[in-house]
Chains A and B, each alone.
Chain A
Amino acid sequence: MAEFLNILAIGLLLGGIYALVSVGLNLIFGVIRVVNFAQGEFVMLGMYGAFAAQTALRLDPYLAPVLVVPALFLLGCAVYWVLLRPLQGEPMMQVFATFGLLMVLENSVLAVTRGVSFSVGSVLSDTTIAIGPVQMPLARIIVLAAATVVAAGLGWWLRATMPGKAIRAVAQDRKAARLMGIPVERMYMVTFGVGAALAGLAGCLLSPLYSMSPQIGMNFIMPAFAVVVLGGLGSVRGAYVGGFIVGLTEALAGFYLDPALKHAVLFMVFIAVLIIRPSGLFGVAGAEEVGLREQS
């Protein structure tokens, strides 16, 4: 029993990581209908940002978001305006463009760091919390809590505030939104910026957990796609719940089958859901089609 609880805890904490990483991706996916392959690299940049903040300013990684989140918001806005705005209605060219961005970001960091891997420490790094027989590192609990707060906060922001309503309006019907006086292009830019900023936040909070390498973004992007598709496109709640499904699947398959097979199982589940219910568990049916249809 204790063993099972431990695996459950590992899965849930892993789910927290995936949920946090996926929220931004799903926002971009759901609103702009852009499949952003470079989202994992934004997380990676967030991690290196936390490292830079610690080396230069002696900032604890948990305080680094103060600097990293605005920086990634601006980067996201710039990427949207320069790279993705001209490619509206060209889903395959968006795939190539964001993949090119992925390659550039990953290898630029590689060129700058020369492949040396870094790690950051926090005052909280070595703390663990015991609940019954289960030992949990505090750093991972913080990620889980942050994922919950971010998902709830983003949900509230989209539901209750004017910019949030504008983003939802643009996602539902671009033309009608424009007629209501919503600056569609600017909303897209802000959405992409917010998505990138959330990835940056995730990167800061994850930095004490991983030793950094430029390739680490790839470790996040594939599970994040699985989360987004499982949970449902454009659904904040879906990204949150999907994160736990993916985390638990990975932990259970890793323990009961073989650690080497956990990714095989995870992605088979992913492909199965993609085929059986492409709109995901919490998504609006047909949402996966809308983005591919020409919106004029």
Chain B
Amino acid sequence: MSNPDTRSAAPARTGVRTLRHELPVTLGVIAAAGALIAVFSGDSFTLNILATAFLFAGLATAWNIIGGLGGQFSLGHSVFFAIGAFTVANIYLKLQISPWLAIVPAAVFSALLGALISWPVFRLRGPFFAIATMAMTEVLLSLSLYFDTFTGGSRGISIPFRLGVQNMIFRDRMSYALLMLGFLAICLLVMAAVTRSRLGYALQAVRDNEDAALAAGIDVLRTKLTGMAISAALTGVGGVLYMMYVRVADPPTLFSLFDIGVKIALIALIGGIGTVYGPLLGALLIVPLENYLRAELGGSVPGANLIVLGVVLMLTALFLRHGVMGALRAGALRLFGARA
């Protein structure tokens, strides 16, 4: 973090890609996602799916900051998601403050909690880190069911339907799709900025070899904690938007291991772990697929959507370790030869 020699040397090297190189691509991808909304603007069914897909794309992008770049495979991001949801519910219902303003405290709480609980857990590596984050989910789920003044306990929290922009409650699906697009855009921009920053390179160094990163003068713990705090903050914001989108949620839903914690990791994995745009691709594949399966088979074969997701997860782990983005890149390399 504080090595002046390398800092001055970095821009002189031509090979290092900075945010300036990345930004046009990022904006182009966001515009393309916006074009999707424009194409389906009359179709509220598809807009609903797009809204969910963009929300999960944003969440998976946020996960990717610590999970992909940093290599810390958290299965407990539902904790930050739930913190965001409870924060907005309490601020909006008890203090009558607009949900828009709740975004800031939600992000701050999530970031603080992310750093606080990760601080001890970051001593663990690989699968042990994943198990500990799962256990953390269990702890916070039990606590949130117990302290029900903030969470509504097992009854959950419901937010009354009071139409209005200031309440973040809309009648048309279009507005929600645009809201989630905004969230996705922020996540993508943050991810692009982090990837091309000193922090991003430090995270990747930690992921690839923690001991070597330490020897190279990287403050490993601080790098991981910063990555986790950013990732958690964005996930908390996602929780805010989700709460205002569905307006009814209970702790088991928000802390769900399958529907939140594992699913966002799965989306990032399928899209391409560590890539900037992979999670968006993964969400655009998985969310519509799951919606389709639930609608087609949900009634006749309960759990069919999760069976398919499980199979997809196993196949991806076996054959598509670098996700769709990785496969595309490998294909492009084979077609056009190595890029300069």
What secondary structure prevails in chain A residues at the interface with B?
helix
B310 touches A102 (CB 8 A): yes
Q: How far is the CA of A12 from the CA of B172 in the complex (A)?
A: 57
A97 touches B127 (CB 8 A): no
Asked if A267 and B135 sit within 8 Å, CB to CB, the answer is yes
The reply on B91 being an interface residue by CB < 8 A is no
Whether the pair B317, A97 counts as a contact (CB closer than 8 A) is yes
Instruction: Tell me whether A97 and B124 are in contact in the complex, defined as CB-CB below 8 angstroms, given that A110-B303, A260-B142, A274-B132 are known contacts.
Output: no
Which of A83-91, A118-126, A143-151, A235-243 is found at the contact surface with chain B?
A83-91
Measured CA separation A278–B128 after assembly (Å): 9
Of A102, A260, A264, A275, which is within 8 A of B139 by CB? A264
List of A residues within 8 angstroms of B321 by Cβ: 90, 93
Which residues in A have their C-beta under 8 angstroms from that of B139? 263-264, 267-268, 271
Tell whether A115 pairs with B302 under 8 Å between CB atoms, given A87-B317, A222-B135, A275-B124: yes
B182 to chain A, nearest CB (A): 30
The reply on A288 being an interface residue by CB < 8 A is yes
- Complex CA–CA separation, A171 to B232 (angstroms): 37
A35 contacts B131, C-beta separation under 8 Å: yes
**Bound complex: CA of A222 vs CA of B134, how far in Å?**
8
Q: How would residues 257 to 290 of chain A score, 1 for a CB under 8 Å from any chain B CB and 0 otherwise?
A: 0101111100110110011001000000000110
User: Which of A101, A104, A258, A292 is B126 in contact with, Cβ under 8 Å?
Assistant: A292
A229 — which chain B residues lie within 8 A by C-beta? 128, 131
Separation in Å of the B148 CB from the closest CB of chain A?
10
A46 CA to B257 CA, complexed, in Å: 24
Q: Is B306 an interface residue (CB 8 A)?
A: yes
Residue numbers in B under 8 Å from A114 (CB-CB): 302
Q: Is B302 in contact with A101, judged by CB distance below 8 angstroms?
A: no
A103 at interface (Cβ–Cβ under 8 A)?
A: yes
Q: How large is the interface on A (under 10, 10 to 19, 20 to 34, 35 or more residues)?
A: 35 or more
Q: How far does the Cβ of A217 sit from chain B's closest Cβ, in whole Å?
A: 12
A95-B73, A110-B302, A260-B142 in contact; A271/B311 too (CB < 8 A)? no
Contact, CB under 8 Å: A106 / B317: no
Q: Size class of B's contact patch?
A: 35 or more
Among residues of A, the one whose C-beta sits closest to the C-beta of B146 is: A260
* B213 interface contact, C-beta 8 A: no
Give min CB distance, A132 to chain B, whole Å.
Answer: 33
* List of B residues within 8 angstroms of A14 by Cβ: none
Which chain B residues border A96 with CB–CB below 8 Å? 265-266, 269, 313-314, 316-317
Known: A102-B310, A263-B139. A95 touches B130 (CB 8 A): yes
Interface string of B257-295 (1 = CB under 8 A from A): 110001001100100000000000000000000000000
Decide: A271 near B121, CB < 8 A? Known: A95-B73, A102-B310, A260-B142: yes
CA of A100 to CA of B312, assembled, Å: 8
Asked if B145 is at the interface (CB within 8 A of a chain A CB), the reply is yes
Measured CB to CB, the closest approach of chain A to B110, in angstroms, equals 19
Q: Which residues of A contact B28 (CB under 8 A)?
A: none
Q: Write out the residue numbers on chain A whose beta carbons fall within 8 Å of the beta carbon of B143.
A: 261, 264
Contact A107-B130, Cβ < 8 Å, known A86-B318, A271-B139: no
Bound-state CA distance A166–B134 (Å) is 33
Q: Which residue on B lies nearest to A233, using beta carbons?
A: B128
Measured CA separation A95–B257 after assembly (Å): 14
Contacts of B340 in A (CB 8 A): none
Q: Are A94 and B127 in contact (CB under 8 A)?
A: yes
CA distance A163 to B192 in the complex (A): 53
Residues of B within 8 A of A104 (CB): 307, 310-311, 314
CB distance from B72 to the nearest CB of A (A): 10
Q: Answer whether residue B309 sits at the interface, using C-beta atoms and an 8 A cutoff.
A: yes
Q: Are A101 and B131 in contact (CB under 8 A)?
A: no
What CA separation (Å) do A258 and B146 show in the bound complex?
9
CA A288 to CA B121, docked complex, whole Å: 14
Closest CB of chain A to B316's CB: distance in Å?
7
Q: CA A6 – CA B153 in complex, angstroms?
A: 30
User: Is A226 an interface residue when CB atoms closer than 8 A count as contact?
Assistant: yes
Q: Contact: A222 with B303, CB < 8 Å? A: no
- Within 8 Å of chain A (Cβ to Cβ): is B4? no
A99 interface hit (Cβ, 8 Å): yes
A111 pairs with B135, CB closer than 8 A: no
Question: Is the CB–CB distance between A264 and B312 below 8 Å?
Answer: no
Does B216 make an interface contact (CB < 8 A)?
A: no
Report Cα–Cα, A225/B146, bound state, in Å: 24
Indicate whether B104 reaches chain A with its CB closer than 8 angstroms: no
Q: Can you show 7 pairs from A to B with CB atoms below 8 A apart?
A: A97-B318, A103-B309, A104-B311, A107-B304, A222-B138, A261-B142, A264-B138
Which 6 pairs, one residue from A and one from B, show the smallest C-beta to C-beta distance?
Answer: A103-B310, A100-B313, A107-B303, A100-B314, A104-B310, A264-B142
Further 12 A-B residue pairs, CB within 8 A, beyond A226-B135, A258-B146: A35-B127, A92-B126, A96-B313, A100-B310, A107-B310, A111-B301, A111-B304, A111-B307, A263-B139, A264-B146, A267-B135, A274-B135
